[in-house]
Amino acid sequence: MIKLRYLAAAVVATGAIQAAPAADLAAGKALAQKTCAACHGVDGIGIVDLYPNLAGQKASYLAAQLKAFRAGSRNNPIMSPMAKSLSDAEIENVAAYYAGLSQR
Ligand code: HEC
């Protein structure tokens, strides 16, 4: 019986590892509120014309842009520095968070 329980736990654990890494929406929201909302708004709507809306944009597009800013293949004096310190996980999380917000 004990062995079976270990086996079940191992199967569950393996499943969790093999599943596609799910974005952590709560972490994405926290990062967005702390770092991005000053320009892109708490609701993902840019606070002035200069700052693009992110709400409802496709997550993979947002992540690709953040990685491009980070790598320097997309350049903007205001936005590029924002992306420089982001990890891949932070990018996936914040992209998923903004993608889940409704467009105005
Ligand atoms: C100081 C203001 C500012 C902050 C803070 C800021 N951004 Fe930006 N962001 C901009 C500007 C300006 C642009 C437009 C850049 C351009 O024209 O290429 C932009 C563009 C973007 C884009 C590309 C949008 C598109 O449609 O291509 C993404 C994605 C983005 N920001 C995400 C973020 C995230 C995530 C954060 C927080 C980690 C953040 N930004 C913080 C100013 C800011």
Give CA–CA dist 42/63, Å, rounded. 18
Cβ of 70 closer than 6 Å to ligand 1, yes or no, is no
Q: What is the pLDDT of residues 56-80, one digit of tens each?
A: 999 999 999 999 999 999 999 999 9
Query: Smallest Cα–Cα separation from 65: which of 44, 77, 79?
Result: 79
Ligand 1 atom showing the smallest separation from residue 35 Cα: 37
The answer on pLDDT for 94 being more than 70 is yes
Read off the amino acid at residue 25: L
Q: Is 52 in the pocket of ligand 1 (CB under 6 A)?
A: yes
Residues 80 and 29 sit within 8 Å (Cβ to Cβ): no
For 18-56, the pLDDT digits (tens) are 455 689 999 999 999 999 999 999 899 999 999 999 999
Q: How confident is the model at residue 5 (pLDDT cuts 50, 70, 90)?
A: low
The CATH number of the domain covering residues in 23-99: 1.10.760.10
For residue 47, the one-letter residue type is: I
Torsion angle defined by CA atoms of residues 45, 80, 73 and 32, in that order, rounded to the nearest 10 degrees: -40
The pLDDT-based confidence of 104 (bands split at 50, 70, 90) is confident
Q: Look up residue 1 and give its DSSP letter.
A: -
* Boundaries of every domain in the chain: 23-99
Helix (H, G, I), strand (E, B) or coil at 101: coil
